[in-house]
Amino acid sequence: MPQQKSVNALLASSHLFAPLTEDQRAALADICHIVPRFRGEVIFVEGEEAAGLHIVVKGKVKISRIAPDGREAVLHVFGAGELFGEVAVFQGSRFPATAECVEAGASLFLPRREFLLNIERDPALAFSLLAAMSLRLRAFAAKVESLTLKGIPQRLAAYFLLALREREAQGGEKRGELRLDISKALLAGVLGTARETLSRCLGRMAEQGILSVDGRKVRILDRGFLEDLAKGAKNL
Amino acid sequence: MPQQKSVNALLASSHLFAPLTEDQRAALADICHIVPRFRGEVIFVEGEEAAGLHIVVKGKVKISRIAPDGREAVLHVFGAGELFGEVAVFQGSRFPATAECVEAGASLFLPRREFLLNIERDPALAFSLLAAMSLRLRAFAAKVESLTLKGIPQRLAAYFLLALREREAQGGEKRGELRLDISKALLAGVLGTARETLSRCLGRMAEQGILSVDGRKVRILDRGFLEDLAKGAKNL
DNA sequence: CGAGCCGTTGATATCACTCAAACTACGTGG
DNA sequence: CCACGTAGTTTGAGTGATATCAACGGCTCG
């Protein structure tokens, strides 16, 4: 299998499997396939029987729940290195949500049975998964909190601040400059609101000199204000 | 240790540890303490360093996040057999939320280090935990969905239907009759709304003959209507 | 008996959703 | 080169659900 070597490298680059030994990763690489994904592709739908779990290699995947009337609640947007569809592997066997590719790329697929065998053999893998799911639970807790007691401007401010901190940690972009990695429509979904509301909110922020927007480029002009907003100390 | 035998029995009654062997449970029982809890007691607060995890033995525990202005978002309410505070054991070491006893009882405490050793030794325990956390993630997904795209009456209807199904599964109460196991104030918190709104919503439902309320006793008169409501097919 | 928690009801204001429409940028194919 | 469709975005206007403030009565527990 000529591609297995690169799969092994992909696994190593995901912090999920970084703590494993070379041999352990090789064992995983043996059981997984790489699948190209195009934009708009539905990877699985809520209620479907789960054959295994997935890891994003490149591109972005949206996880959401869709109501009978068509409106959707975005649960996550995952990028390279993140796993999804794992819940059904450990509990219930059916996916609790729908996964759709929103930016073309590729993903790895790990079949359920073989993956479970690997966990059984290897406590380090189990710990990695427990940590990954704990992180997911933290993210959900934050999301429920913000949906329950924060308004849209506050959620948006929190989103920008988080994005800024991430960029700074990776020494990325210029100071105060920020490139959105998802469309505004999707961002609205992530914040749990409608496109129109997000648009208006950005408009008001620009009006007040907190930031300026040009397409996907956002320049933060008054970070302190954003921080006060996120805390609830100020309002628009 | 005279109480260890009963601790072992408690562990066995929690479905988390039911799949373990007697010996495996005995190993856990050796490392854990039982702690009485009184109503209103704060078990841990958000941001606190986590020394281990907890399991409800009796009573109820509310897990919530509290904003600087004092308003709170209820994440869960746990009853006997459920574990909490586990996230910090596997990731980050600090609690992501606050735990408060809302109904007097008792809980088990398992110290972090010893618990991790048990997982390492024992794949079945790891699987139990992965399943438990998967279940938690499912619950969160449902919560985010309902907060994002459902109104209060719909959330309330969904809550009643879920409670009814649980009671029926355990062959409990009379047909259509339901005893709330938490106060209405707390229920409002669980639904992500204010006490007043819940009160009004119940009032309207009673007005329309969907149900009748007497203290904590709720009699469901028109289950079909509730189901339509939860689906979004009808409205109040 | 007083304090605190719980529950209800009323009045008010506002935030955000919905519907509707137009505008940009982009590529395609005629 | 231009008409066309599509995706993304913005703006406007109206509306409704829900939070908030305020006041009250009942209950339990110390």
B37 has a pLDDT exceeding 70: yes
Nearest CA in chain B to A85: B134
Which of A 47-76 lie inside 8 A of B, CB atoms? Answer: 65, 67-69, 71-75
B131/A65 CB distance under 8 A: no
Structure confidence at residue A172 (pLDDT): 64
A91/B143 CB distance under 8 A: no
pLDDT band at A8 (very low <50, low <70, confident <90, very high): confident
Please state the φ and ψ torsions of residue B210, each to the nearest 5 degrees: -80, -35
A137/B137 CB distance under 8 A: yes
Per-residue pLDDT tens digits for A91-117: 999 999 999 999 999 999 999 999 999
Beta-bridge partner residues of A37: A105
Q: Is B235 on the interface with A (CB under 8 A)?
A: no
B73 has a pLDDT exceeding 90: yes
Per-residue pLDDT tens digits for A134-174: 999 999 999 999 999 999 999 999 999 999 999 888 876 67
Buried b (16+ CB within 10 A) or exposed e, B81-117: bbbbbbbbbbbeeebbbbbbbbbebbbbbbebeebbe
B88 has a pLDDT exceeding 80: yes
Per-residue pLDDT tens digits for A20-31: 888 889 999 999
Structure confidence at residue B152 (pLDDT): 97
- Please tell me the distance from the alpha carbon of residue A74 to that of residue B40, in angstroms, as a whole number: 35
Which amino acid would we find at residue B75? L
Separation in Å: D23 C1' and B217 CA: 27
| Torsion from C-alpha of A162, A163, A169, A175, nearest 10 degrees | -120
Q: Are B56 and B80 in contact (CB under 8 A)?
A: yes
B173 has a pLDDT exceeding 80: no
Structure confidence at residue B224 (pLDDT): 95
B233 has a pLDDT exceeding 90: no
Average pLDDT over all residues of chain A:
92
Structure confidence at residue B3 (pLDDT): 55
Residues 6+ apart with CB under 8 A from B227: B157, B161
B105 has a pLDDT exceeding 90: yes
- Please tell me the distance from the alpha carbon of residue A127 to that of residue A17, in angstroms, as a whole number: 10
Q: Is A97 on the interface with B (CB under 8 A)?
A: yes
Separation in Å: D3 C1' and A204 CA: 36
Query: Residues B151-177: what's their mean pLDDT?
Result: 89
Query: Residues B80-98: what's their mean pLDDT?
Result: 95
B236 has a pLDDT exceeding 90: no
Per-residue pLDDT tens digits for A52-89: 999 999 999 999 999 998 899 999 999 999 999 999 99
Best of B140, B150, B155 to mutate (most A CBs within 10 Å, chain A): B140
A16 has a pLDDT exceeding 90: no
Per-residue pLDDT tens digits for A112-131: 999 999 999 999 999 999 99
Weakest mean pLDDT among A11-20, A47-56, A66-75, A217-226: A11-20
Q: Are A77 and A63 in contact (CB under 8 A)?
A: yes
Q: Is A151 on the interface with B (CB under 8 A)?
A: no
A230 has a pLDDT exceeding 80: yes
Structure confidence at residue A171 (pLDDT): 72
pTM: 0.94
CA-based angle B53:B56:B60, to the nearest 5?
125
Tokens 């950005």 sit on residue? A202
Q: Is B162 on the interface with A (CB under 8 A)?
A: no
Structure confidence at residue B16 (pLDDT): 87
Beta-bridge partner residues of A219: A177, A212
Percent of chain A with pLDDT over 90: 79
Nearest CA in chain A to B88: A134
Structure confidence at residue B170 (pLDDT): 81
B103 has a pLDDT exceeding 70: yes
